[in-house]
Amino acid sequence: MRIKHKVNVRIADDADFKNFLFAPDDALSEVIIDAYYRQTSGKFKILMNTDEDISLGDIDAVKGIFIKVNKDAVVTLNGGAETIQMRRSGATSSDYAKLFLEADISAVNIAAPVTEDLEGIFCAWGDTA
């Protein structure tokens, strides 16, 4: 299985992107991984004021995850007490909050906002232990 991702955050001091404040080389941002054999992905809908554990399928050793949601959401990893607050950059229906993480992951829980249902997609990858 081949995984390819490119995360390239670019920040400029102007709307025309002439005065970069942070701008890694785009060509060097792409990563290709051939080390893993399993993945799982899917869509989810979580009703307002509830939470859901995301199924990691048959991956015993999850090494990365991508989550994209249409509302602000709270993510808890590995059964911990600390949470990650996902926030959209705006309030229009086309704004999404995204979480991309390469790490050892054993559990993922996502909580919907108190007043709105949450919809999203996820993908996790890794291998047998």
Residue range 89-115, pLDDT digits in tens: 886 767 999 999 999 999 999 999 999
Q: What is the CATH number of the domain that holds 52?
A: 2.60.120.10
Cα–Cα distance measured from residue 129 to residue 127, given in angstroms and rounded to the nearest whole number: 6
Integer Rg of the chain from CA: 16
Q: What is the tally of structural domains in the chain? A: 2
Quick one: pLDDT at residue 23?
Answer: 94
Say yes or no: 79 and 28 in one domain: no
Say yes or no: 101 and 65 in one domain: yes
Say yes or no: 120 and 61 in one domain: yes
Which residues span the domain enclosing 82?
35-127
User: Tens digits of per-residue pLDDT, 35-88?
Assistant: 999 999 999 999 999 999 999 999 999 999 999 999 999 999 999 999 999 999
Q: What is the pTM of this model?
A: 0.91
Say yes or no: 109 and 66 in one domain: yes
Cα–Cα distance measured from residue 9 to residue 70, given in angstroms and rounded to the nearest whole number: 20
Say yes or no: 39 and 71 in one domain: yes
Say yes or no: 3 and 47 in one domain: no
Quick one: pLDDT at residue 57?
Answer: 94
